[in-house]
Structure formats: C-alpha cells, structure tokens
Amino acid sequence: MQTFSLSLRSWLRCSAILTVAGLAGCNSLEARFYQPAARDYPAPAGVEEQFATATDGASLQTWFLPAPSLRDGRVDRAPLLVFSPGSRTQIDELLPMLQPIAERADVSLLLFNYRSYGRSTGNTSVSRRSTLLDLRAAYALAMSRSDVDPTRTVLMGYSLGAVPTLALASTKSDVAAVVVGGAYARTGDVLDDEGYGSLTWLIGSHLDPEDSAKGLPGRPVFLFHGEEDVDVPPYHALELGSALLRAGARLELHLVPDANHRNVLTPKSELAEDLVEFLREVLQVESPNDR
C-alpha cells in the first residue's frame, strides 16, 4: 500500500549536495520532503468536490463525504474528520482507506490535496509552512458548512501530514481531538537518523510536532506507529508521545506489531477498529449497538 509513503531517505541523500548551495538551497532542501503531482480525476459518487482558497491565493481541491446519519436525514449536522496526507499521497488514494473508518464512526470526512497535488494549484513550492496554510484553508471551508458541527471536529494527519495537523490543532481550542501516525517529534532527529543532523539549520525546526504538542493540554490524542517502520523509526512516536504527556494531553498510544510506514492502517485492521471507537467516544457518536 502506497497510501502512507515518505521519501525521507531519498531526500536526505541529496542533502550534502544542497549544502554546497548554502542558504540558497533552503527551500529546495525542504521541498525534497514532498512529491507533488498534478492529476485530474473525478469525484466519486456521493462525494462533494469544492475548492478552498489559501491566504496566499492557492486553490485547494477538497472532497467532502457526509456521515451516514447526515445522508439519511437523521441529523442536520454531523461531526467531521479532516485528514492531512503524507508526502506522496492524493485524495483519490486516501478515500478507499478512510471512507470505511469514517462511515463506521458515523462522521463526515474531509480530504484535501496540498497545492500542486491533484487539481490544487499554487505558485509556491510545497513546504511545512504551505501545508499549514493549505490545511487552514480546508478547515475554514469545512467550518463554513451548515451540516458540520464545529464543536465535534477531529484533525488527523499521517507522516508529514502530522506537522500541519498538530500545528493547527494547537491554535484551535474547538478541535475536539487529534489523530496522528507515522510522525516525528523533532526535525533534527529525522536528520540525525541518517547522519545529517548538522544540516538542521538549513530548514530550521519551526512547526516541530514537539513544539505544537505544548498547545494541546487536556486534548484527546490518538497516536499510532508501526513497530517495523524504517522510514520513521518507532522511537519517534515515543518521543512525540512523551512531549504530549508533558503538555498534559490525554494520550492514547498504539504501537502496531509487524507494521511499517506504508501498511500500518488498513480499513479492516484492529487499529482501524480502535480508531473508530476513539472517534465515537470523543465525538459522542452513538454506537450502532446502542441505537
């Protein structure tokens, strides 16, 4: 499964070359995290496509899938799960994995493509800063909908998508809970893994998940990681989990045996069932067995 792919190793191999370029290489170095690709594909049946506009003018493709109770007319508005993808992933790849989870939890689902991915457009290269701008725009569009309950929204991010997810959640007290997986705590640690820790100054440590964790006291956080992840080794999850606990977050940590960076979450896995239960609990969604 390529859903949760991260090209850290290929990115790091170019670091020494970019160092020669000095400060002029900063943006290029960070951009190596991301693999944008323009693709045109239709929204599937039952999915509403809209475009959000970031503060710098980027136009962002979003897909909204209503919760079953919303589609059936049982409620006027429903809780929402907003997902921020990793470096190579687009919304057409994410829907088959996340739709079953959202439907079992009876929550609406919002997917979006970062600038330069899919049908999204933008004049700047993709970076941690731009992914946060893009998430803010998608989140604002969702909050403008009359069928979304703004007090029952969960932000979810995987791999590099955890960076904007945690950063935005730390500034939005009305976000009910956070779900992150395959994430690191500090940029410098990622570089240290491959022996390039001295290059951290080239891209800086801004938006480090460890720092964002400080803005989540009392917030429920579902943190998951594959025990066989070689792209982002599992010690990163322990470091991030420690930062969340120090901040006073209500942490639920799942280390998944025999799972790597690409296959840790699948629709029929035990982890998916745990996530469904987490979403139902924090969003106060009635279980089908209680109806």
Residue 115 forms part of a structural domain: yes
| Per-residue model confidence (pLDDT) at position 15 | 39
Residue 127 forms part of a structural domain: yes
Residue 2 forms part of a structural domain: no
Which tokens sit at 211?
């720092």
Residue 246 forms part of a structural domain: yes
Q: Average pLDDT for residues 132-150, to the nearest whole number? A: 98
229, 262 contact by CB (below 8 A): no
Q: Average pLDDT for residues 250-261, to the nearest whole number? A: 97
| Per-residue model confidence (pLDDT) at position 122 | 86
Q: Which residues pair with 138 in a beta bridge?
A: none
Residues 145-197: tens digit of each pLDDT: 999 999 999 999 999 999 999 999 999 999 999 999 999 999 888 777 776 66
CA gap 286, 266 in Å, rounded = 23
**Is the model's pLDDT at 30 over the cut of 90?**
no
Residue 102 forms part of a structural domain: yes
CA gap 244, 24 in Å, rounded = 35
- The count of C-alpha atoms lying within 13 angstroms of the C-alpha of 98, restricted to the half-sphere facing its C-beta, is 31
Name the pTM for this structure: 0.90
| Per-residue model confidence (pLDDT) at position 197 | 60
Where residue 46 falls among pLDDT bands split at 50, 70, 90?
very high
Q: Average pLDDT for residues 78-101, to the nearest whole number? A: 96
Where residue 230 falls among pLDDT bands split at 50, 70, 90?
very high
Residue 54 forms part of a structural domain: yes
156, 178 contact by CB (below 8 A): yes
- The DSSP secondary-structure symbol of 116 reads T
231, 261 contact by CB (below 8 A): yes
- In which domain, by residue range, is 106 found? 8-285
Total number of domains constituting the chain:
1
Angle between the N-to-C axes of helices 128-143 and 162-169, in degrees from 0 to 180, rounded to the nearest 10: 60
Residues 113-122: tens digit of each pLDDT: 999 999 999 8
pLDDT over 90 percentage in the chain = 76
Q: Which of 287, 277, 274, 190 is nearest to 239 (CA)?
A: 190
162, 183 contact by CB (below 8 A): yes
- The DSSP secondary-structure symbol of 44 reads P
Angle between the N-to-C axes of helices 270-282 and 91-105, in degrees from 0 to 180, rounded to the nearest 10: 60
Where residue 11 falls among pLDDT bands split at 50, 70, 90?
very low
Q: Determine how many CB atoms are found less than 10 A away from the CB of residue 268.
A: 8
**Is the model's pLDDT at 198 over the cut of 70?**
no
Q: Average pLDDT for residues 231-256, to the nearest whole number? A: 97
Where residue 19 falls among pLDDT bands split at 50, 70, 90?
very low
- The DSSP secondary-structure symbol of 2 reads -
Query: What one-letter code names the amino acid at 211?
Result: D
Residue 69 forms part of a structural domain: yes
| Per-residue model confidence (pLDDT) at position 206 | 78
* Number of residues that make up the chain: 291
Q: How many helices (H) and strands (E) does the chain have?
A: 12, 8
Residue by residue, DSSP assigns 162-202 as HHHHHHHHTT-TTEEEEEEES--S-HHHHHHHTT-GGGHHH
Q: What angle do CA 67, 96, 4 make, to 5 degrees?
A: 115
Q: Which residues pair with 180 in a beta bridge?
A: 157, 223
**Is the model's pLDDT at 96 over the cut of 90?**
yes
| Per-residue model confidence (pLDDT) at position 81 | 98
Question: Taking the alpha carbons of 33, 36, 41, 46 in that order, is the dihedral positive or negative?
Answer: positive
Where residue 288 falls among pLDDT bands split at 50, 70, 90?
low
| Per-residue model confidence (pLDDT) at position 14 | 43
Which tokens sit at 109?
């689902």
The CATH number of whichever domain residue 161 belongs to comes to: 3.40.50.1820
| Per-residue model confidence (pLDDT) at position 26 | 47
**What does pLDDT average to over the chain?**
88
Where residue 29 falls among pLDDT bands split at 50, 70, 90?
low
| Per-residue model confidence (pLDDT) at position 2 | 39
* The most confident of 9-18, 219-228, 281-290, by mean pLDDT: 219-228
| Per-residue model confidence (pLDDT) at position 33 | 76
CA gap 48, 266 in Å, rounded = 24
